[in-house]
């Protein structure tokens, strides 16, 4: 794995952390800090419901992949990608996991 590609994974993880949070911050500023309101917004129409389920399934799949590979590779730092996936999003968790996975052994 080239160092440039590994750095790209880290840049993508940072972008995947910051960019969605800007939109969440805007939403919270307009609607108040209401998790029930946020969850309701995720299901406001069939398109948002489909996107919510798409990302949920992707997050669960990524988690299973991480756990399966950590069991074999013993790269326990990669487990940090799981909370990043569920607390920030797949856009952060997946590239973060790839960054951990491609470190030199």
The reported pLDDT for the residue numbered 84 is 97
Among candidates 34, 54, 33, 51, which has minimal Cα distance to 42? 51
Between CA 96 and CA 76 the distance in angstroms is 13
Structure tokens at 1: 């794995």
pLDDT string in tens for the chain (105-residue length) = 788 999 999 999 999 999 999 999 999 999 999 889 999 999 999 999 999 999 999 999 999 999 999 999 999 999 999 999 999 999 999 999 999 999 887
For the chain, how many structural domains are there in total?
1
The reported pLDDT for the residue numbered 3 is 87
Between CA 94 and CA 105 the distance in angstroms is 20
Decide: pTM greater than 0.85: yes
What residue numbers bound the domain in which 14 lies? 3-101
Residue 2: which region, alpha, beta or left (left: phi > 0; alpha: psi -120 to 50)? beta
């Amino acid at each position: 794995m080239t160092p440039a590609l590994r750095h790209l994974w880290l840049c993508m993880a940072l972008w995947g952390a910051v960019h969605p949070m800007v939109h969440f911050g805007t939403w919270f500023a307009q609607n108040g800090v209401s998790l029930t309101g946020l969850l309701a917004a995720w299901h406001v129409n069939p398109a948002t419901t489909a996107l919510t389920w798409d990302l949920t399934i992707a997050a669960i799949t990524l988690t299973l992949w991480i756990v399966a590979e950590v069991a074999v590779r013993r790269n326990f730092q990669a487990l940090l990608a799981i909370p990043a996936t569920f607390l920030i999003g797949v856009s952060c968790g997946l590239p973060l996991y790839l960054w951990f996975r491609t470190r030199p052994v």
